[in-house]
Chains A and B, each alone.
Chain A
Amino acid sequence: MSSDSKKRSSRREFLKHSSQLAATTAIAGASIPYVYPGESNTIKISLIGCGGRGTGAAANALATTSGPTKLVAMAEVFDVRLKTSLKTLEDEFGDQVDVPVDRRFTGLDGYKKAIECLGPGDVVILATPPAFRPIHLEYAVEKNCNVFMEKSFAVDAPGIHRVLEAGKAASKKNLKIAGGLMSRHYPPLEEAVRRIHDGAIGEVITCWAYREHEPVGFRPKDPGMTELAHQIRNYSNFTWLNGTFLLDWLIHNLDVCCWVKGAWPVHAQGQGGRQVRQEPDQLFDHYSVEYSFEDGTRLLAQGRHMTNCWAFFGDVIHGSTGSAVLGEGIRIPQLYKGHRQTADNLLWQHTGPMSNAYQIEHDRFFEAIRKDEPYNEAERSAYAAMTGILGRMAAESGKMVTWDEAMASKLVLAPGLETKTLESDPPVLPDSQGEYAIAKPGFTRVL
């Protein structure tokens, strides 16, 4: 195949070129054309963040079939977690996992070393808590690596801008960036959204995003664990790490609503609080945010994490002639005529085979790398995250916040995160009772 041999030769030329560059040390920022491996070249992978999802993402990457892949380095704050992850992957992928002791990195600066184990055009998987995403993404792009980054992508507006800038830099270097909003790669949902865009339920008037379920878990602090390590271990429970549930957990549902609507919101107002939850952390246990789009239509997002309450996880869309139930939490998207979602009113539902969006998002990403096709999800990933951040700002402040105000915010939730070690103080500390500051609508500053 002529195209294949062209790719292979490009890769060879590139490798030659890059080794020359490497010899001159500072390759950072160098403009390198055609950073892509052909189908027969092994793409090396570094995994940054070896929790359950990071390990799962590495497995998805190693399971792609567009060409050979190999996991070569891992970075993780906690040594025990790295070992679990490595063993799990070795058991499943054998020789595809080649991470000797000198390519296992722990601590908060391990990401740099793991990325440095790669060559240009290889793949970094970023799966740490989202607070670290902008820092890690910037470094991976600086080192000319393609990136798969798990959701979410930043916790504050300055972080969003860093992701946007890194995304632009990646495009200039012909690097591919995938963002882990797998709903966008779920064929049944793609079909449903295509049908809505083709007018199946008329003009989209209202979107509802729900994530209502049982309380969120919490691990008490182990003796001997530093406060920062404790918070990272419970990263879902601290605002500077996960940006609240509106962002980190509702992001799929928010993103799908905005995808269906074909727009990002222009402003938001909302509310939230902590009615039942007792765990020593910063979580609201309920929240509700009303977003408005440019055309005046609304998106209402709500979450509740309480026991013995009604539960629902998914999106409900109302159009001028019909409605839809879909999104994260709804495996089989459904379109209905009218606004009552009954079997009699069913217009369409997915009936095809099962598919695994977590695998498909990696299949498409690796294929784009192999075929050198444009692939950069950084911008829409950043905007999806910004939608969540805007919601947090509205709910925590109790104010109406515009998209532009939010984007212009200079507030950094974790100043100096780059230089922290596990022994550093985290941005929030418990008081004498062991309690943490919780946002107070009307008083909390969010911009």
Chain B
Amino acid sequence: MPSPDSQGSFKKLSSTMPKKKLLLLSILLSLLVLVRSEPLNAQDRYTETITTESGDEISFDMVLIPAASFQMGSPPQEEGRNEDEGPQFTVQLSSYYLATKETTLDLFLAYYRETHAPAQDYFPGVPEEVDAITGPTPVYGDITMGRGGDNPAIGMTWKNAVSFCKWLSRKTGREYRLPTEAEWENACRCGTDQVFGFGNDPAQLSTYAWFDLGPSTGTHEVGTKKPNALGLFDMHGNVGEWVHDFYAPDSYVEMAQLNPAQNPTGPKTGKVQVARGGNFRSPSKALRCASRDYEKRWWRSGDPQLPKSQWWLPDMDHIGFRVARTAAQ
């Protein structure tokens, strides 16, 4: 059964919608019920707790995002839209869990302390993977960049975020991963086709999001703004969130031919990955559900080394991630 929270929220959303959308939503909801009539072993929401090597307990919440079909991307007329958000196409997703909050510095530091490699080195003969989990190289700076432990983890490469997921999986016995780009956008949309998860009005953004609102020197503690209808915090703003998929400006063109694309995972190859949701420094248009960011060359410009670190984006205080998990079918 869908959790009362998400059902209630869907109802609230539907009351404000035009009839055409209502029809669409009811079809969508009945689809959900169809898919979800299969027994689910997992609960709708659970708390994961890990114990660090130094004995601290750190918890985070995972919420079940029901199987869904949605329109990915933005329509051509959407304000602030970029070309890479189209064409829109239909995505069908199986149910999955998503962390209600962005991964915190406390949790990420626990991972770092348990896995980091002995030293940065440039000896190609030395295998990087010392044990099952490839740990990051030591950071000779402040990983927190002056932020508190309940703020989102920042400054990690996509590879490092993926490595974190492997560590978390080993630690918990549950398979954690980054959400796919489609999973992320679906969760951000909360079953709507609006610009933001809560509607179309950017004036409401500050209720839900930390973004460019005058002087802002960094991230904020996770989960301090209002969550979306699925109970997810900071899907808009705070830190941009790594997702699984490679970035390609035309990746939607290919996916649109599949119609619908089932559990899409993005281009098979690529050089850089996508980050979603905008960050505390972004203008409102970069916080739209459909807006896609991706690793730019300058993201590594704070790294004076070459080859650039595979693990760290020094100074990149606005890139983080949240974890996902495939729900048992």
Contact = CB atoms under 8 A, between A and B. Distances in A.
A165 B230 CA distance: 68
B129 interface: no
A9 interface: no
A88 B306 CA distance: 7
Contact of B307 (A57, A84, A182, A214): A84
Give the interface centre of A56, A215, A217 by most chain B CB atoms within 10 Å. Answer: A217
Given A214-B113, A217-B120, A217-B138, A312 B146 contact: yes
A213 B109 CA distance: 11
Chain A residues touching B, majority SS: mixed
Contact of A354 (B123, B216, B298, B306): B298
Nearest to B117: A217
B124 A358 contact: no
Interface in A337-365: 343, 346, 349, 354, 356, 358-359
A329 B298 contact: no
A57 B118 CA distance: 24
Interface residues of A, number: 49
Contacts of A268: none
Contacts of A358: 301, 304
Interface in B93-144: 112-113, 116-125, 137-144
A218 B119 contact: yes
A313 B306 contact: no
Contacts of A359: 301
A215 B138 contact: yes
A219 B118 contact: yes
A156 B282 CA distance: 47
Nearest to B54: A308
Nearest to A150: B304
B315 interface: yes
Given A56-B306, A249-B140, A356-B298, A217 B119 contact: yes
B269 interface: no
Contact of B142 (A55, A212, A216): A212
B217 interface: yes
Contacts, number: 112
Contact of B306 (A89, A330, A334): A89
B302 interface: yes
Contacts of B302: 331, 356
A311 B143 contact: yes
Contact of A59 (B124, B143, B217, B306): B306
B185 interface: no
B4 interface: no
Interface in B69-102: none
A52 interface: yes
Contacts of A211: 141
B131 to A, nearest CB: 15
A311 B124 contact: no
B270 interface: no
B183 interface: no
Given A307-B113, A332-B217, A217 B307 contact: no
A391 interface: no
Contacts of B140: 213, 216, 249
Which of B113, B141, B217, B301 counts the most chain A CB atoms within 10 A?
A: B141
Contacts of B37: none
A214 B143 contact: yes
A29 interface: no
A52 B120 contact: yes
A225 to B, nearest CB: 10
Contacts of B143: 213-214, 311
A217 B54 CA distance: 19
A234 B302 CA distance: 23
B68 to A, nearest CB: 37
A53 B303 CA distance: 9
Given A88-B307, A213-B139, A219 B121 contact: yes
Given A55-B306, A313-B145, 4 more contacts: A56-B305, A218-B119, A307-B113, A359-B301
Closest 5 CB pairs of A and B: A217-B119, A52-B305, A55-B306, A313-B142, A217-B138
30 contacts: A51-B122, A52-B307, A55-B307, A56-B303, A57-B304, A78-B123, A182-B304, A211-B141, A214-B139, A215-B138, A216-B138, A216-B140, A217-B117, A217-B138, A218-B119, A233-B121, A233-B123, A307-B54, A308-B113, A311-B142, A312-B142, A312-B146, A313-B141, A313-B145, A313-B146, A329-B141, A331-B315, A332-B217, A354-B301, A359-B301
